[in-house]
Amino acid sequence: MAPFSTILFLVLLIAPLCNATLGVQYYDQTCPHAEDIIYQTIRNASFFDSKVPARLLRMFFHDCFIRGCDASVLLDSTPENKAEKDGQPNLSLGAFYVIDAVKTNLEKACPTTVSCADIVAIAARDVVAMSGGPYWNVLKGRKDGRVSRANETVNLPAPSFNTSQLIQSFANRGLAVKDLVALSGGHTLGFSHCSSFEGRLHNFSSVHDTDPSLNAVFAQSLKQKCPKPNSDRNAGQLLDPTSSVFDNNYYKQIISGKGVFASDQSLLNDYRTGLIVKAFANDQATFFREFAASMIKLGNVGVLEHGEVRLNCRAVN
Ligand code: HEM
Ligand SMILES: *[C@@H]1O[C@H](CO)[C@@H](O)[C@H](O)[C@H]1NC(C)=O
Ligand SMILES: *[C@@H]1O[C@H](CO)[C@@H](O)[C@H](O)[C@H]1NC(C)=O
Ligand SMILES: *[C@@H]1O[C@H](CO)[C@@H](O)[C@H](O)[C@H]1NC(C)=O
Ligand SMILES: *[C@@H]1O[C@H](CO)[C@@H](O)[C@H](O)[C@H]1NC(C)=O
Ligand SMILES: *[C@@H]1O[C@H](CO)[C@@H](O)[C@H](O)[C@H]1NC(C)=O
């Protein structure tokens, strides 16, 4: 039995992560059409630019993992401060203009009501549903943070991480092993630059030139896309052959040794995650249900109950 003081300490540690004030009906009185406005704006933007859905999904993950889901990822750098979006793993962060368009439309309908943090959370749900994935009710009522620091993006998990490191990174945010495996399924959408996985293709280790967990034929095709030296900074690979459809192909790819990142591939061979990967590969409905549940948990990470609703998502009030 753990001593009482230990239990009390754990309760105090966990309490700030639980948030009673978020609610599905948060804007029902103050901005009843908020979610329609967000959906319409995002659908229009995705029609003009097919990269938008993947970018908005990844934006939510980066926001929540650094300082909690507080829209810190949206703040622009200032002369005094380099912001998160100018930190290192930001290459494919984009589509900030879509959030700006949503905010402009919301400010017309209901001024200073809907937080930028809630916009990002709702946008992530909408792009998943729009791409053929599950739908869930987003809890709302997050406030916007006033701090964003480029150097804190070192705390994002890296694509070279093994499962132990990934589990630790997720546990630091109150997320469980199942959440890690389900949320990694976000890689059913989108694209990666060569720089995020080329360490697996050449000089991998003192024994293996190529990462032995990579399917050999797949490794060959990645090498063709990412020749060394790589002069095309935009070269890369779709994360999934059906990269604009939200489906469970990501898990099937991993089982075939075709996970693009070492982090993705490592989930198959670890005893804590391998069975979950196989369950999601075998049953898309289970994956959809668990993904939705884990996105709700991700949306609760480090939420601010008190704070401001920014007028412009790029700057503090
Ligand atoms: C488990 C740890 C994770 C790692 C190590 C990781 C790493 C990466 C990396 C390196 C890229 C490619 C960046 C580039 O080269 O352009 C990427 C892309 C992406 N990630 Fe993750 N990620 C993780 C978890 C997640 C989660 C939880 C989500 C959302 C639920 C997500 C959604 C995405 C999406 C949609 C893209 C494609 C972005 C685009 O096409 O613009 N990732 N991720
Ligand atoms: C639709 O998206 C395009 C491209 O981003 C933009 O120029 C246009 O103003 C948008 N239209 C509406 C009605 O939001
Ligand atoms: C990403 O970070 C680099 C280095 O800090 C910066 O030069 C670049 O402008 C950033 N890119 C984006 C899209 O914000
Ligand atoms: C980031 O820099 C600030 C000072 O600007 C410092 O207080 C903080 O500890 C740094 N954080 C990390 C993760 O390096
Ligand atoms: C995961 O990586 C860490 C850091 O490189 C290392 O210490 C650990 O042994 C690795 N774990 C496994 C299971 O490979
Ligand atoms: C592999 O690493 C060795 C020693 O660090 C280096 O001399 C060699 O050029 C590298 N090869 C490639 C293909 O990068």
Atom of ligand 6 nearest to the CA of 203: 1
pTM of the model: 0.92
In a structure prediction context, what are the per-residue pLDDT tens digits for the chain, which is 317 residues long?
Answer: 445 444 444 444 444 444 457 999 999 999 999 999 999 999 999 999 999 999 999 999 999 999 999 999 999 999 999 999 998 866 568 999 999 999 999 999 999 999 999 999 999 999 999 999 999 999 999 999 999 999 999 999 999 999 999 999 999 999 999 999 999 999 999 999 999 999 999 999 999 999 999 999 999 999 999 998 777 888 999 999 999 999 999 999 999 999 999 999 999 999 999 999 999 999 999 999 999 999 999 999 999 999 999 999 999 99
What CATH number labels 4-156?
A: 1.10.520.10
Report residue 308: phi and psi, to 5°: -110, 165
What CATH number labels 163-294?
A: 1.10.420.10
CA distance 75 to 149: 9
Q: Which two tokens stand for residue 38?
A: 């967000």
Q: For ligand 4, is residue 152 a contact (CB within 6 Å)? A: yes
Residue bearing the CA closest to ligand 4, atom 1: 151
- Check whether 247 is labelled as a binding-site residue: yes
Residue 133, pLDDT score: 98
Residues in the chain, overall count:
317
Q: For ligand 4, is residue 151 a contact (CB within 6 Å)? A: yes
Pocket of ligand 3 (CB under 6 A): 85-86, 90, 93
Distance 152 CA to ligand 4 centre (A): 7
Q: Which of the residues are catalytic?
A: 62
Structural contact between residues 222 and 201, judged by C-beta atoms closer than 8 angstroms:
yes
CA distance 150 to 46: 28
Atom of ligand 3 nearest to the CA of 88: 2
Residue 91, pLDDT score: 55
Closest ligand to C-alpha of residue 90 is: 3
Q: Of 153, 144, 143, give the one whose Cα is nearest residue 82.
A: 153
Residue 21, pLDDT score: 78
Distance 7 CA to ligand 1 centre (A): 35
Atom of ligand 3 nearest to the CA of 82: 5
Best of 40, 43, 44 to mutate for ligand 2, by most ligand atoms within 8 A of CB? 44
Domain ranges of the chain: 4-156, 163-294
Residue 243, pLDDT score: 94
